[in-house]
Amino acid sequence: MISKLIEQIKTKQAPVVVGLDPQLSFIPEQILNKYYEEKGYTLEAVADAVFEYNKGLVDATYDLIPAVKPQIAMYEQFGIPGLIAYKKTVDYCHEKGLVVIGDIKRGDIGSTSSAYAVGHIGSVKLGDQVIKPFDEDIVTVNPYLGTDGVKPFVDVCNQEDKGIFVLVKTSNPSSGEFQDRTVDGRPLYEIVAEKVVEWGNESMDGDYSNVGAVVGATYPEMGILLREIMPKAYILVPGYGAQGGSGKDLKGFFNKDGLGAIINSSRGIIAAYKNEKYSSFGAECYMDAARKATEDMLQDIRENVF
The residues assigned a catalytic role are 105
Q: Are 162 and 138 in contact (CB under 8 A)?
A: yes
CB 240 within 8 A of CB 215: no
3 touches a second copy by CB under 8 A:
no
Q: Under the criterion CB under 8 A, does residue 124 sit at the interface with a second copy?
A: yes
259 vs 306: CA distance, rounded Å: 10
- Please select the residue that binds a second copy; options are 172, 279, 280, 299, rule is CB under 8 A: 172
> Of the candidates 29, 144, 224, 258, which one interacts with a second copy according to CB under 8 A?
144
Number of Cβ atoms within 10 Å of the Cβ of 58: 21
Report the residue from 1, 5, 6, 45 that binds a second copy according to the rule CB under 8 A.
45
Smallest gap from Cβ 272 to a second copy, in A, equals 17
Judged by beta carbon, residue 8 or residue 112, the one nearer a second copy is 112
Within 10 angstroms of residue 284's Cβ, the number of other Cβ atoms is 12
- Does position 259 interact with a second copy (CB under 8 A)? The reply is no
**By C-beta, is 171 or 294 nearer to a second copy?**
171
Q: Is 174 in the site for a second copy (CB under 8 A)?
A: yes
Beta bridge partners of 158: none
Nearer to a second copy, 64 or 83 (CB): 83
Establish if 107 lies at the interface with a second copy (CB under 8 A): yes
Whole-angstrom Cα distance, residue 125 to residue 107?
22
Does residue 27 touch a second copy according to CB under 8 A? no
Query: How many Å apart are CA 50 and CA 54, to the nearest integer?
Result: 6
The residues in 211-250 that bind a second copy, with binding defined as CB under 8 A, are none
- Site membership for a second copy, residue 79 (CB under 8 A): yes
Measured from the CB of residue 226, what is the shortest distance to a second copy in angstroms?
A: 16
Exactly one of 64, 115, 204, 259 binds a second copy (CB under 8 A); that residue is 115
DSSP label at 280? G
239/172 Cα distance (integer angstroms): 8
| Beta carbon nearer to a second copy, 53 or 254 | 53
Figure out which of the listed residues 7, 29, 38, 76 binds a second copy, where binding follows CB under 8 A: 76
3-state secondary structure string across 207-260: CEEEEEEEECCCCHHHHHHHHHHCCCEEEEECCEHHHCECHHHCHHHCCCCCCC
State the DSSP string of 114-153.
HHHHHHHHS-EEETTEEE-SS--SEEEE--TT-HHHHHHH
Closest C-alpha to 226, from 199, 258, 261, 259:
261
Among 7, 29, 97, 147, indicate the residue that binds a second copy (CB under 8 A).
147
Tell me which residues in 180-209 interact with a second copy (CB under 8 A): 181-184, 188, 191-192, 195
Of residues 4, 13, 55, 145, which one binds a second copy by CB under 8 A? 145
8 A C-beta contact, residue 106 and residue 165: no
- Choose, by CB under 8 A, the member of 13, 112, 246, 255 that binds a second copy: 112
Q: Which is nearer to a second copy, 11 or 182 (CB)?
A: 182
Interface with a second copy includes 155 (CB under 8 A)? Answer: no
